[in-house]
Chain A
Amino acid sequence: MLTNAMYLCATISICMLQTIDLTFQYKGGQPFVFPDLTVGAKESMLLLGRSGIGKTTLLHLLGGLMQPSKGKILIDGADISHKSGRDLDRFRGKHIGIIFQQNHFIASLNVMDNILLAQTLIGDKANVERANHLLERLSIASKANQPINKLSQGEKQRVAIARAVINKPGLILADEPTSALDDQNCVAVYKLLEEQAVEEGSALVIVTHDNRLKSEVNHQIILQ
């Protein structure tokens, strides 16, 4: 595995995500030992595996939502395994965009404000122009000023994607983005995600057990 990672990194010009020796152990539980991962800018990777194998744990580790027991996580060259507190919060907000299986929003804000919040929360100025551009790219520009809960699930997912990429993150994480969709929409959503990763120069990691995606993405890691 280590050799595989080294090989990949040598061939990719910009290494956006790299994990080395990643281990996580819940209190009193069996340790999860994860394979080393390497994803370049504008590249996609599938993280597959059956339930309970640690997919969500890995997602939270990569997303900077918890700290590994051992090992390194490099995102855009920065090691987040040693970051904590405010430092990690800020880094997460700026460099990692996460799309959850069930997307939550701030109910009191409209579509535009939900997206802009991702900018203002990390202390950046709200860039309405960029948000509009993203909404247009995702074909939901007409919904910009609607209350978020007036949108359909599909529209909400697009808003979640816009929110995840607004800060031009090095890493886009998607958790089961297609599991609730039919075949046609499944591919469409993947294409949409891939498109955003390419546009923003991000690495895209999709955590899923959706076999339909296997034919779309070459780079696959199966957790065992």
Chain B
Amino acid sequence: MMQYLRLAAKNLFYKPLNLALSLILFALGVGLISFLLLFNSQLKEKFDANLAGINLVIGAKGSPLQLILCNMYHIDNPTGNINIKDAKPFLNPRHPLIKMAVPLSLGDNYRSFRIVGTNHDILKLYGVQLGEGNLWAKDLEVTIGATVAKKSGLKIGDSFVSSHGFDEDPDLAHDHAKFVVTGILKGSGTVVDQLILTNTASIWEMHAHEGGKEDAHDHEHNHTAADSLDQHVHDNSNTDLLAHPEEQITSILVQYKSANNYQTLNMPRAINENTAMQAASPAYEINKLYDMIGTGTETIRYIALLIAIVSLISIFISLYQSMKQRKYELALLRVMGSSRAGLFFLILLEGIGIAFLGWLTGTLLSHVGMMVLGHYLTEDFGYDFQAWVLLKEEWYLFFIALGLGIVAALVPALKAAGTDINQTLGEK
């Protein structure tokens, strides 16, 4: 056995260019499929982890997918803001159908990490726990996600100036007030890891100093931020929001008491038809998104399949030709004591060898590709993708690859086993 393995390896590497051609094709097929597996599984993982039992997102009218992407995945801009007076019923803690309503106010960032004005329920919703320090309590206090802490280097007690919008831009800095870090959350693998959480009033605070909005303020917010830190405490509850009906928020994440209730099923339509707001179902919108991505990945999958078939043919031709060129060698092996089965095994091993090396190269390629893409995704969207995990599907791919190697080598191997020693040696 070992002698054939050694011989097969020597034979493969004896003609490196032939090997390279077969390898590149095979690796390309395997690599594409492996990359799709890797990307799809992680994308789904990210989306699923952030569904977080959210049944409905209520926000300004616009694209429902944009509403979901912005408020649940934090990768798109808001559709606009909604007035608290319109959203009142949904923020009411005594709403008969709603178990939890988490208000979100967006609009600021610190080094591209979004600052989200919300209440403490968001941690329950996503299952995130406090790592160190305290949760935000007063205006301008923030608790930061694990990724934010790691990448920005912010520590408890540090203060920073936010900038307007969602991209880092020093020209848009709100330099009139500083946020103070009071706590850092434990890593959860959800989007909360990359958020800076504060109370809703802090966001109002930031934007109160801009444009005509200031006129709308007729109470404690209408003074400098430094004063508000000392004088006014918002208790982070929805009741507190209800006390400011003239203010705005970006959206509300809603969890139902029972998702299958007849009345809850009707709620989104009621909101969309009867109010100035829109309600979108995350599960529905994300499935629509999967379908869209699915068409693209399916096309790539067919291309990968095509490449795999071409590579199968290339391995077959390469083995068949090299076997014909080596017919004297094969006859010689028989003379030296090899059985027919031995020759069959030898050519089969060469096919399997190409398949194995192709799988290895392809898998390596796909993971390097994932690393590069992951880098850009992290830059652009803040999501971390793992490049160096081995999925169990990739192991299936391993066995499929070896299977293909065997299929490609089967005919050449049978032909090799059938070598007529007398005729071959007689030709001279």
Contacts and interface: CB of A to CB of B under 8 A. Distances in A.
A106 B332 contact: yes
B239 interface: no
B338 A56 contact: no
B3 interface: yes
B342 interface: yes
Interface stretch (B9-17, B71-79, B240-248, B392-400): B9-17
Contacts of B212: none
A168 to B, nearest CB: 14
Given A56-B426, A65-B422, A108 B333 contact: no
A9 interface: no
Contacts of B13: 108
Contacts, number: 72
B421 interface: yes
Contact of B329 (A85, A93, A107, A163): A107
Contacts of B7: 106, 108-109, 117
Interface in B46-71: none
Given A60-B422, A65-B421, A65-B422, A104 B336 contact: no
Nearest to B8: A108
Interface in B376-428: 421-422, 425-426, 428
Contacts of A113: 10
A192 interface: no
Nearest to A126: B3
Contact of A63 (B335, B341, B342): B335
Contacts of B3: 117, 120-121
A102 B425 CA distance: 9
B337 A93 contact: yes
Contacts of A98: 335
Contacts of B335: 63, 65, 92-93, 98
B275 interface: no
Interface string A90-112: 10111000101110111111000
A122 B425 contact: no
A27 interface: no
Interface string A170-194: 0000000000000000000000000
Interface of A: 56, 60, 63, 65-66, 85-86, 89-90, 92-94, 98, 100-102, 104-109, 113, 117-118, 120-122, 163
Which 5 pairs of residues, A with B, have the shortest CB-CB distance? A93-B337, A108-B14, A120-B3, A104-B328, A108-B10
